[in-house]
Structure 1
Amino acid sequence: MQRKHSASLCLSLLENLLYSGIIYGWPFLVEVFKNEGYFSELCVSPNEVNYQTLQTFNKTNGTKLDCVGQAERFNLIYTMSSVLNVLFCFVAGLIFDRFGTWICKGLGTILFTIGFILLAKSSALNTSLLYPGMALLALGGSCFFMINFQYANLFKSTRSTWISMYNGLFISSSFVFWIFGNAHEKGVDISVLFMAYIGPLLLLFLLSFVFGPREQIPYPAPKSFRYGIQVSKSARERKLSLPSKKLSADLRDSGLGTFKPQRLTIFSGLGAYLYVMNLFQMSVMSLRNQFFTGTFDSWAQNIGSGNTEGLTAAFGIITAISGLAAPLVGLLDDALTKYYRKRSRDLVLSRIKSSNAFTLFSCICTILLSLCAVIPIPSLQYLTFILLTISRLVCYSYSYISISTHFPSEQVGKLIGLLWTMGGLLLMLQYPLLRFVLRSCEGDFTIVNIVFLGLNILTLAFPISLYLTHSRVVKIIKTAPTDVNGNSMEDNADLL
């Protein structure tokens, strides 16, 4: 059984790497589409406009063209796709909770397949297919991203490490379009690449019937937990493999199966407060990260004075290898959890304290990201790329760990989906922000980056509030009766 668990984990990691976050490689496709003449009719002579920015050369006659309209159209496609990717997480969470893994993954596979076909059929004369094509890739990525996290539950002692790995590979998915771009430069037709990429997608879907559960993997997963098509028809085995809704996963892990669940409720005062603060942090940091990614081409042309090849190559390489750094984040989280576990001897409290440290770390990384982006030194931007990668890794890892720690496992899919959906509404600001930069600031991102810096500083309110809140909880738990293992016998949900 352990071998099957390992195989399932590896396949889900591979799927996350190849497909889940593929839309974030959009900056690398932009160069391909520009070379193919997409939206080239929107490039005009600088004499025909009142501002000069994003000038490029016409390859035919060597004249300069102003391509603000083209840049805005490309950004509009990315904005729409990234917003849908986040908003659909709530729907994907509902589908996952209600119908299970197979149905949710089947839906994602269908969306990806249609999306790749539409992109393959697009051309300079039929650019409208880019909109539904990228949108469907975004929706499919939401489905895959939502279901793959659960495989970390098969490995209780290293769960945080694998969750961080999923986030890292999600970010690294952008390297696929980077490879597509390099292959296109070598003469490979981009349409052929899109169609060929459907093959591995269908193979992974078929393998999910053997190496994936029909419903969900509980946390912590029982040692006898079985899944796959060979046991899907056995109602008795499925019933035995699922935990009781009235039993806290963390309490069962501590051997205290007779006590109430150590969980917050979204309707309690503190539960709602922490959820809203988490929402604020996610919204601001997600907008910062997504805006940087979506406007990378325009930003690189501005800061690199038109020479974007070096910055684009560095951005692609750093993003591609970000998955290798993801386990370090999880290992550090697991180490902190074990450290606090020895001191407080309470699993939930130790996870809360370790995740609080990572929340502070993610805020600091994003602040430094905005600070580096403000400074117009090309060589400094390599550090900006690294900070962007770290910020996204820690931020999204923390959100899943925090929600799964505070709230009941049967509600995790809906709560995380709702969190990302509500935060995704703010991503709609990407397009008007870029129009403001290109048309009012003549391509200078300094003002917007300063505003982001101020907003990122405000996100420090979340880790500070977590520290103040959990300090009060620590005092209550220390005075509460304990069992022979040193675990609090009070109901943490009631205490909170």
Structure 2
Amino acid sequence: MTLANNLHVSPYDGDEKDNVQLESCPKTATNNDEYQKAITPRSMRYFILISTIIESIIFSGLIFGWPALFYMLKNEQIYSYLCPNNNYSVDDDDIDDFDINQTTINPNDKQLQHYGRDNCIPQENILNMAFTIGIFSMGFTSFAWGFLLESKGLRFVRIALNLLISVGCFLLSITDSDTSIRIIPAIIILGLVGVPLRIANMQIADFFPLKRSTIITLFSGAFSASPVIFVLIKYGYDNWSLSYFWATFTLFLTSITLLPLNTFCLPRLSVRTREKTLLKRYDEYCAKIEALDLEMNKGKPHFINNKMLKTITDQMNEQESNKLLLQQPDNNANNTTKTPIIVNFSQFQREKETVRKPNLLKRIFKPVKTADNENELPLRVSLISISFLMHQLWFSWINTYMVLYSGSMALWLDRVTDDDREKGQFTQTFGLVQVSALIIAPIAGDVIDRIVRRAQHIQDANGRRLMQAQSGFGPVLFTTLTLLGAVICRFFDTSIAVYLSIAFITILRALFIAVASAYLRVRYPANHFNRLNGIMCTIGAFFSLLQFPLFYFESKSHLGAFQVNSVCAILTVLCLLNPLSLRIGSIQKRLIDREQCYGKYLMQNKSNTINNNNHVVNPIDN
């Protein structure tokens, strides 16, 4: 059995290459050494990982830094013509309220200029409308990007997202008081690319199969920490006299520098496909080396490239022209004899030359064609499963509460204090602590990875899948309890409750997307991950519309706030059913068996349809 063939696993297994073994290569090398030589070089893998993480921190959740951007937009007088009095004169009362300890007043101070236009409702409404549409489009289009990842490939999607980011940042930078309309498409575009960029970058985790969940959660943590970018820009805007144009134009320049990474470094279709191709190429190289009675060059530190293959093939061509018999090893591990074969390389070369090589653009954008895998499960097996339904409801409610928390934060702070400075301190603290998501999120992924690695040592396939399915119990339960803590804090109108809720929400924001995505990757087949992740985010976006009636009732009165908090507490307690069901092995075993039964039925029915046989009765209906 070859290295590439060993990648074949049951369609119910979520991982393809965690336990790759090498049998066809020289016995003098260890399996791990040969595997590392076959796949993408380690330096390239880490370069792609670090680059995409930096990109995710800067752009994936950039729109969630809206409070800081909103401040700068108002200061730049975007849509100021909608205000009844747009000259924004600063009177003595504003100066006195700004800083009673300040001895000298600078009329050009940006923070001082901000006074006098805090209550321009038409201006705030249209800016918030752009933000709302951007947030909704972020989740609404996720399912489409998930399917594009499967059909067009990773490189096409990343280049498209890169171009959208560049357009959005450019529109943002050239927006001023005379061209305020540009802010709407800029915010919508930046919102549109957030979740798709996170989903696309999660494919990089397949470069590190033993740390897959950790890498996925790391990208989710980068997504959660991304709002700090606008917080830092605002700090430079206020304290270092950094102009709005250059602050935002720098984002545009940064996005342009990432285009070569997306164009030349990332695989066309997927990381999994590239690694499989490299493994097959390595098998071919090993076979030709053995056929020529040569030894592997142990000095080669990287994967076998086309140049190396061409060199060895030229040697075979030379021997073929001399009518020599080549030796190819038998794949039977118990048979060490070599079978003589005649390689007609000249005919192969003529056939290869008849195929016209595509131009550069086609090689960049056209995805790699892969043969259909007869053992591939249909998406519906995972999509209509009870386990995915419970996971979807769990994710949707947490996502809705996160939006509700941010949207109704001002209402809660109005009940807590009348001091605007204290309110600003709460908001600034909330923005800065989001960067801790980079540390918190990977912890949950590491827990899942450790359980999955233990599961690989279980010989029984059903027992292994059961342990993988239950690997999310701890992270999912902890995430739900964190949400419950944040909900309980909202019942108390005190400063301590606000700070505690910020701590809970920071942990929750770092974990819930990371845990939700990592669980999908280990629970369901790998080829379903992109589409399931996109569908989950899209349904969550529609579900988040529930925040509008909840926000309306909370804004009415203190009693309305108590009623909304009570509803949130009840729904959060119901969310505990998801992690508790993961803990009960009998429930998970039954769900897994049902999915396997339905999957086998669909695959058998597809095979019978192709062979024009009679329809097979669904065994679930019996």
Q: Within 5 A, what are the aligned runs for 1:2-41?
A: 2-38=42-78, 41=82
1:205 partner amino acid:
L
Task: Report Cα offsets for 1:339-360 as digits up to 9, x if no partner.
Answer: 5555786443222111133222
2:390 & 2:120 partners in 1: Cα distance? 40
- Does 2:533 correspond to 1:419? no
Q: Residue in 1 aligned with 2:570? A: 454
- Does 2:379 correspond to 1:379? no
Q: List gaps (5 residues or longer) in structure 2.
A: 1-40, 86-96, 99-110, 280-302, 307-358, 601-618
Offset, 1:434: 4.0
2:49 & 2:166 partners in 1: Cα distance? 23
Q: Residue in 2 aligned with 1:253? A: none
Aligned partners of 1:76 and 1:431 also within 8 Å: no
1:27 partner amino acid:
P
148-157 or 67-76, which deviates more: 67-76
2:524 to 407, 412, 415: 407
Aligned partners of 2:215 and 2:442 also within 8 Å: yes
Task: Report Cα offsets for 1:83-138 as digits up to 9, x if no partner.
Answer: 11011111111221111122111211222122222222333455433322111001
Q: Residue in 1 aligned with 2:247? A: 193
Pair 1:317–1:65, CA change in 2 (3 A): closer
2:133 partner amino acid:
M
1:169 to 210, 213, 222: 222
Q: Residue in 2 aligned with 1:52? A: none
Aligned partners of 1:112 and 1:140 also within 8 Å: yes
Tell which structure's C-alpha radius of gyration is larger: 2
1:299 & 1:72 partners in 2: Cα distance? 20
1:315 partner amino acid:
F
Q: Residue in 2 aligned with 1:209? A: 263
1:267 & 1:475 partners in 2: Cα distance? 14
Task: Report Cα offsets for 1:205-225 as digits up to 9, x if no partner.
Answer: 212233211111128954936
Pair 1:316–1:442, CA change in 2 (3 A): same
1:448 partner amino acid:
V
2:177 & 2:191 partners in 1: Cα distance? 22
2:574 & 2:254 partners in 1: Cα distance? 43
1:301 & 1:272 partners in 2: Cα distance? 44
What SS class does the counterpart of residue 161 from structure 2 fall into?
A: helix
Pair 1:61–1:213, CA change in 2 (3 A): closer
Q: Within 5 A, what are the aligned runs for 1:382-397?
A: 382-397=499-514
Q: Within 5 A, what are the aligned runs for 1:19-418?
A: 19-38=59-78, 41=82, 66=119, 72-124=125-177, 126-186=179-239, 187-218=241-272, 221-222=275-276, 224=278, 245-247=373-375, 266-267=380-381, 271-296=384-409, 299-300=412-413, 302-305=415-418, 306=420, 307-339=422-454, 346-418=463-535
Offset, 1:329: 1.8
Q: List gaps (5 residues or longer) in structure 1.
A: 45-55, 248-260, 481-489
1:219 & 1:467 partners in 2: Cα distance? 34
Aligned partners of 2:452 and 2:467 also within 8 Å: yes
Aligned partners of 2:468 and 2:522 also within 8 Å: yes
What SS class does the counterpart of residue 266 from structure 1 fall into?
A: helix
2:402 partner amino acid:
N
Aligned partners of 2:444 and 2:515 also within 8 Å: no
Pair 1:75–1:364, CA change in 2 (3 A): farther
1:61 & 1:233 partners in 2: Cα distance? 52
2:433 partner amino acid:
I
Aligned partners of 1:23 and 1:174 also within 8 Å: yes
Pair 1:373–1:219, CA change in 2 (3 A): farther
115-124 or 182-191, which deviates more: 115-124
1:155 & 1:60 partners in 2: Cα distance? 51
- Please give the TM-score of this superposition, normalised by the length of structure 2: 0.64
Task: Report Cα offsets for 1:390-417 as digits up to 9, x if no partner.
Answer: 2233322232233333433333222221
Aligned partners of 2:140 and 2:542 also within 8 Å: yes
Task: Report Cα offsets for 1:221-242 as digits up to 9, x if no partner.
Answer: 5493679999x959xx956xx6
1:293 & 1:274 partners in 2: Cα distance? 29
2:434 & 2:264 partners in 1: Cα distance? 31
Pair 1:449–1:397, CA change in 2 (3 A): same
Offset, 1:163: 0.8
Pair 1:73–1:444, CA change in 2 (3 A): farther
Offset, 1:148: 0.4
Aligned partners of 2:379 and 2:528 also within 8 Å: no
Q: Residue in 2 aligned with 1:485? A: none
What SS class does the counterpart of residue 557 from structure 2 fall into?
A: coil
Offset, 1:297: 5.0
1:421 partner amino acid:
T
What SS class does the counterpart of residue 188 from structure 1 fall into?
A: coil
Offset, 1:170: 0.6
Offset, 1:65: 7.0
1:193 partner amino acid:
A
Pair 1:246–1:8, CA change in 2 (3 A): farther
What SS class does the counterpart of residue 385 from structure 2 fall into?
A: helix
Task: Report Cα offsets for 1:163-220 as digits up to 9, x if no partner.
Answer: 1101000111111111111111122222221112111111112122332111111289
Task: Report Cα offsets for 1:437-481 as digits up to 9, x if no partner.
Answer: 44x23898554333322222221222233444x42454899xx9x
Aligned partners of 1:71 and 1:298 also within 8 Å: no
Offset, 1:11: 1.3
1:315 & 1:137 partners in 2: Cα distance? 21
361-370 or 392-401, which deviates more: 392-401
1:376 & 1:218 partners in 2: Cα distance? 51
Aligned partners of 2:553 and 2:561 also within 8 Å: no
Aligned partners of 1:369 and 1:387 also within 8 Å: yes
Offset, 1:145: 1.5
Pair 1:76–1:63, CA change in 2 (3 A): closer
2:114 & 2:372 partners in 1: Cα distance? 71
Aligned partners of 2:582 and 2:588 also within 8 Å: no
Pair 1:223–1:104, CA change in 2 (3 A): closer
1:358 & 1:106 partners in 2: Cα distance? 33
Aligned partners of 1:79 and 1:427 also within 8 Å: no
What SS class does the counterpart of residue 173 from structure 2 fall into?
A: helix
275-284 or 126-135, which deviates more: 126-135
1:172 & 1:448 partners in 2: Cα distance? 28
Q: How many residues align?
A: 454
